[in-house]
Amino acid sequence: MTRVLVTGSAGFVGSHLVERLLGDGHHVVGVDNYLSGQRGNTELFLGHPRFTFIEADVSLGLPYAGERLDWVLHFASPASPPHYQQFPVETLMVGAQGTQNALDLALGHGARFMVASTSEVYGDPQVHPQPEDYWGHVNPNGVRSCYDEAKRYAEAVTMAYHRHHGLDTRIIRIFNTYGPRMRADDGRVVTNFVHQALRGEALTVYGDGSQTRSFQYVDDLVEGIVRLMGVTYHGPVNLGNPDEFTVLEFARLVRDRVGPGLEIVHLEAAQDDPQQRRPDITLARELLGWAPRVPLREGLEATVAAFREAGPPRGPRADGVWAAT
**267 burial via Cβ count (<10 Å: 0-12, 13-18, 19+):** middle
Which stretches within 129-274 are classed as H helix?
Answer: 145-165, 189-198, 218-229, 247-258
125: phi then psi, degrees, rounded to nearest 5? -70, 145
Tell me how crowded residue 110 is: count the other CB atoms within 10 A of its CB. 11
| CA-based radius of gyration for the chain | 19
First to last CA, the chain: 36
- How far is residue 184 from each of residues 55, 87, 98, 154, measured CA to CA in Å? 22, 18, 26, 27
Catalytic, out of 64, 84, 134, 147: 147
Tell me how crowded residue 307 is: count the other CB atoms within 10 A of its CB. 21
- Contact criterion met (CB below 8 Å) for 203 and 263: yes
Separation between Cα atoms, residue 237 and residue 233, nearest integer Å: 9
- Told to judge if 147 belongs to the known catalytic residues of this protein, a careful annotator would answer yes
Length of the chain, please? 325
Rounded (to 5) percent helix, strand, coil in the chain: 40, 20, 45
250: phi then psi, degrees, rounded to nearest 5? -70, -40
> Cα–chain-centroid distance for residue 265?
27
**324 burial via Cβ count (<10 Å: 0-12, 13-18, 19+):** buried
Name every residue whose Cβ is closer than 8 Å to that of residue 286 and which is 6 or more positions away in sequence. Answer: none
- Contact criterion met (CB below 8 Å) for 262 and 151: no
Q: Which residues are catalytic?
A: 147
